[in-house]
Amino acid sequence: MKSKKHFIIPIILLVIAITGGAWYFYSKSTIFVSHNELLRVSIITWPGMGPGFIAQEHGFFGETKVDFKVLDNTIDRRAAFQSGNIDLHITTLDQLAIESAAGLRGKAILLTEQSNGADGIVAQSSINSISDLKGKRIAYAEGTPSHFFLLHMLSQNNLQPLDIQSVVVDDPSKAGEAFIAQSVDAAVTWEPFLSQAISQSHAKMIANTKELPGVIIGVFVVSDRTLAERREDIERFTFGWLRAVEMIQSDPSSTYPIMAQKLGIPETDFSQMMDGIKLLDKNQQVKYLIAEPSRHSLAEDLFTDAAKLWVKAGLIKSFPDAEAVFDRNLLNSLYTKKLPTQTQ
């Protein structure tokens, strides 16, 4: 016959297992979020991501611990966000229209930078304008900001996608390479490949975002779950990022080397690439994201315009809901608050 001890030990182990399991599932529920949990943020190897590292360096995120994950592959980046492995997803407003139509869910909370010459269309010297692209072979990466810029410029000049001969490549850098090899008449690419292409003797820049700085804009999107569970962390991230933008604007000589090193971009390339973008401060957030009650914001308009062009190009079939992406109450709450000063 077994002693009482033999019965008590299994019971104790069972209680420990049950309570331990209950604590595990409780800790993973929407009720409990550890203050030590990392805020996981996707970024790409691009100067516009630099403010995050300046904010980390100077403690601008406060108590919020931020983990930047470089995900240059668009498909991988979207998958990581949709699976819940990323809390904040970096994209562009035009790309967000494609992603939202495909089922990606989240709220736009922070604009990073606008292209200000970093993206452009380079063509053979015999081509003088966008109108002259009709019937020409043009290299671009499908579904990218480069593609959107091309569609936008064609639309502005009363041309349709079918009016050109599309040469689809895997990456905008490949478009630049195709142009340099003179296998196409024109290419849409970005820095530093744009400068490399335009340096060719047969090259001419026929359009770039210096002339249209509000067309390609980076944006962080937060998952609905992260926003619901970690509102304070999202606010600290937003304010910390904007404080870093202020510092970069006021002191580029000390901040550029840090950003270049963290992103793994040679300093000479980094400075050149920074010349082609404009980091967006709080005033710019208000300009693009905040709208009068009876009107759409500039960001909503750009999102909607992009969706129309993507539908016309056949990349998406339905129009995404802008109101589901741009939460006016959230944005008004974020950007009516006073930004902490750098001395705080």
pLDDT tens for the chain, residues 1 to 344: 333 333 333 333 333 333 333 333 333 333 334 446 899 999 999 999 999 999 999 999 999 999 999 999 999 999 999 999 999 999 999 999 999 999 999 999 999 999 999 999 999 999 999 999 999 999 999 999 999 999 999 999 999 999 999 999 999 999 999 999 999 999 999 988 999 999 999 999 999 999 988 999 999 999 999 999 999 999 999 999 999 999 999 999 999 999 999 999 999 899 989 999 999 999 999 999 998 877 899 999 999 999 999 999 999 999 999 999 999 999 999 998 665 554 33
Element (H, E) at 74: helix 74-82
Three-state secondary-structure class, residue 91: strand
Q: Nearest CA to 274 among 295, 238, 249?
A: 249
C-alpha angle 94-232-32 in degrees, rounded to nearest 5:
110
pLDDT for res 341? 52
Signed CA dihedral, 148, 153, 158, 163: sign only: negative
CB 69 within 8 A of CB 42: yes
310 contact partners, CB below 8 Å, separation of at least 6: 94, 97, 98, 101, 148, 151, 316
The alpha carbon of 202 is separated from its chain's Cα centroid by a whole number of angstroms, namely 33
What is d(CA 53, CA 244) in angstroms, rounded to the nearest whole number? 8
Domains contained in the chain, CATH given: 39-116+215-335 (3.40.190.10), 119-208 (3.40.190.10)
What is d(CA 305, CA 94) in angstroms, rounded to the nearest whole number? 8
- Residue 91 has φ and ψ, to the nearest 5°, of -155, -165
CB 217 within 8 A of CB 111: yes
Q: Cis ω on the peptide bond leading into residue 192 (within 30° of 0)?
A: yes
The alpha carbon of 207 is separated from its chain's Cα centroid by a whole number of angstroms, namely 23
CB 234 within 8 A of CB 337: no
What is d(CA 45, CA 262) in angstroms, rounded to the nearest whole number? 9
CB 98 within 8 A of CB 77: no
Count how many Cα atoms sit within 13 Å of the Cα of residue 120 in the half-sphere of its side chain. Answer: 27
pLDDT for res 2? 35
pTM of the prediction?
A: 0.86
